[in-house]
Chains A and B, each alone.
Chain A
Amino acid sequence: MNFLTSSDLAPIPTYRVMNSEGYLNDPNRQPPDVSNDQALTWYKNMLTVNILDTIMFEVQRQGRLSFYMVSAGEEAVTVGSAAALGPNDVITCQYRETGVFQQRGFTLKDFMSPLVANRNDPGKGRNMPVHYSGKQKTGVHAVASTLGTQIPHAVGAAYAFKMEAKENPTESPRVAACYFGDGAASEGDFHGALNMAATQDCPVIFICRNNGFAISTPTSEQYRGDGIASRGIGYGVDALRVDGTDIFAVYEATKEARRRALQDGGRPILIEFMSYRVSHHSTSDDSFAYRSKGEIESWKTGYNPLSRLRRWLENNGLWNETMEKETRSAIRKAVLAELTAAESEQKPALRAVFDDVYAELSEEQLAQKEELRRIMMKFPDEYDVESHEGGIAGL
């Protein structure tokens, strides 16, 4: 009677390409199949995310923004993986995937409009900051605060693409990918999704951002097994663990996962990107309450995804201190300029209160709208309608 004991099994190894000095970890392997332009673009994208995050955190502290979530330490996870997905692939994510939006085409204006909830926000001012609606530009479903719910959505999208590929075999097939954290992977939706994906052979990539924390809960209190990658085998899903602070490893792993996900009509793949959540959980969190500054510093210096790629670029003569200074300064200026511009725009029209719950307003909603209008016109001083596009006429 041989009980299978998890402690008997070796932990799943971590795939790495580049060491912390910016050189190939294995000098005998080929350099990553990445052009200089690609690498430079990724670096600038990571810098943009990093600077945007830093500024917007301060902006929240100044009271100009209600809420923000920084993704420091995970810039390579999001930029690198998004770089490996197809342009028409669809993504569902959690909330700390700013780099995905950046890599897939969001401009600073696209970030700022929803952050300040002005009339240019596709989400019409309905979502909290960092819960971007950007499907048309980026293929990412609108972000919700609920954790793990996005995982089976990617499975369903993948199934739709599988059917689509059967109908149109000459078109480029697509995959769906979902991002979720180490905490979200504890939710029942993770389990249901992996089972659905495996039994129906869906071309979906499950991307876990294991950053060590779910708010204050370290992974030692989140699960007892070997991370999230170890769960794949239980569902019949191939899995890989990757150093999430090494952008080349992230890119290669996602590229290969995508290739595998499209094999034989489709199958799910699970990738676990290991990193560390350098930032607080959000602007509503002070993480010094549950971890030491020393721990944060050691990850910030030892496993910094930006400095690692920067060293690679410098080792290859593609970057230097002057370019760094100029680029950072330019990004900072651009972020602040877009913020100011976004803050000067009006909020969306008030009809966004009732629109889009249903395709058409219900009779009851129409009646409620008239009631709200009646109240606002009876007590005009009690409601600030002018900050909304169209004022009361916009209702």
Chain B
Amino acid sequence: MSFPKLSRPLLRHAYSTSAKPRLNVPIDFNTTPLLHHNHKSFANTPGLPTGPSKRMTLYQAVNSALQTALASSNQVLCFGEDIAFGGVFRCTMGLQAEFGPDRVFNAPLTEQGIVGTAIGAAAEGMKPVVEIQFADYVFPAFDQIVNEASKFRYREGSTGGNLGGLVVRMPNGGVGHGALYHTQSPESLFCHIPGFRVVVPRSPSQAKGLLLSAILKSEDPVIFMEPKILYRAAVEQVPEESYVLPLSKAEVIKPGNDLTIISYGRPLYTCSAAIEAAERDFKGISIELIDLRTIYPWDRRTIIESVSRTGRAIVVHESMVNFGVGAEIAATLQDSAFLHLKAPVKRIAGWTTHTGLVYEKFIMPDVARVYDAIEQSLEY
């Protein structure tokens, strides 16, 4: 007996693709220029101390910052769901053993209870660093964040009551398989009602310095969003000592003359790859890449100065384009740099939909889309 001939060959895998990507290839975190593969490149990044350094992943750098903060002041507390054993992303490993259950402890499953309690403790002088397990689960705490913490100093007025030292940490962003509820990046929601500083680090060395700044120096409460895909993927040299990086200061990661790309968090790696391809393909073009670092209050001066000079801007972020961070930056640029613009400000961001499991690669900004935006902007 012979089988009928198949019109096309049997599939050997559950799925296959005929795509042969040139642009949308996985980011090679071992060679990306965004990470410090040895500590000689520390000199290129303002604010990084040049003393001894150690190779750390993002979660290890966060752990290092928490450990440093807990050691430096008895006021620092660390609590949230599953903190005690080390946290679902291992950011709090070893902390309870070192600092004891008074300072590092599990909270019951209540984001509103966690953030509300942190507010009360911060109001009385503690520095509570609380963890929301996934940014997708911050919403029960939304009232405490926007109605209470954001307005605390304002409504206290001259009593001086404030929540400096309160930090709410949460992993955010796509990880490849997070689907609707382990992928969200709600940073723009916390930028609309003022009162918090909203910070997104791009790398382990940035995360340690920014988090220490948030905990030990900031007089304003901070929301600290850690791109979860980078927890393990991003590995680099990180200074071993305690150091702070400034909040509300953007960083020009790569200077350029013809176009400015503004981004933060994981998409910076995408932008870096797109810039590499574009500078290779469009001879003579140089593209400036800026990391916003603090999403709000943001460093408008650095971005406006850059775009006034280059005349072209693209904003890239993972979360939806509608009413996102890009909208604010674009509006500010057209208001402040209108006559300098050679092309409209483009926003490359998540499409206006939810991040369905098997569609993530089509929804998140990828190298091809950023490359295409660069090309369109240059050709406008």
Contacts and interface: CB of A to CB of B under 8 A. Distances in A.
The secondary structure that dominates the B interface is helix
A133 B108 contact: no
B118 interface: yes
A135 B124 CA distance: 11
A329 to B, nearest CB: 34
Contacts of B117: 152-153, 155-156, 159, 193, 196
Contacts of B24: none
Interface in B276-303: 297-301
A356 interface: yes
Nearest to A188: B112
Nearest to A357: B194
A53 interface: no
B343 interface: no
A156 B195 contact: no
B121 interface: yes
Interface string B138-176: 001001100110011111111111101000000000000
B241 interface: no
A282 interface: no
B108 A160 contact: no
Given A157-B124, A192-B110, A134 B159 contact: yes
Interface string A146-163: 100101111111111101
A175 B197 CA distance: 31
B192 to A, nearest CB: 13
B248 A156 contact: no
Contacts of B77: 159, 163
Nearest to B166: A156
Given A357-B195, A362-B248, A155 B157 contact: no
A88 to B, nearest CB: 11
Contact of A160 (B120, B156, B158): B120
A44 interface: no
Given A152-B116, A189-B144, A364-B300, A356 B108 contact: no
Interface string A346-383: 00000010001111101111000000000000000000
Interface string B203-247: 000000000000000011000000000000000000000000000
Given A356-B154, A357-B195, A92 B120 contact: yes
Interface residues of B, number: 53
B116 A149 contact: yes
A305 interface: no
Contacts of A146: 143, 147-148
Contact of B157 (A124, A160, A189, A362): A124
Contacts of A159: 77, 117, 120-121, 126
A195 B117 CA distance: 11
B147 A141 contact: no
Q: Say which size band chain A's interface belongs to.
A: 35 or more
A199 interface: yes
A167 B75 CA distance: 11
B219 A136 contact: no
B108 A153 contact: no
A189 B156 contact: no
Interface in A100-125: 121-124
Among A141, A144, A188, find the residue whose CB has the most chain B CB atoms closer than 10 A.
A141
B301 A363 contact: yes
Which of A144, A153, A161 has the largest number of chain B CB atoms within 10 A?
A153
A159 B114 CA distance: 12
A152 B124 contact: no
Contact of A359 (B111, B119, B220): B220
A342 interface: no
B107 A196 contact: yes
A129 to B, nearest CB: 14
B164 A359 contact: yes
Contacts of A153: 116-117, 119-120, 123, 148
B267 interface: no
A359 B153 contact: yes
Interface in B171-194: 194
A360 B299 CA distance: 14
B112 A189 contact: yes
Interface of B: 74, 77, 102, 105, 107-108, 110-126, 128, 140, 143-144, 147-148, 151-162, 164, 194-195, 197, 219-220, 248, 297-301
5 contacts: A124-B158, A149-B116, A152-B113, A161-B124, A191-B110
Interface of A: 90, 92, 121-124, 126-127, 131, 133-136, 141-142, 144, 146, 149, 151-161, 163, 166-167, 176, 188-189, 191-193, 195-196, 199-200, 352, 356-360, 362-365
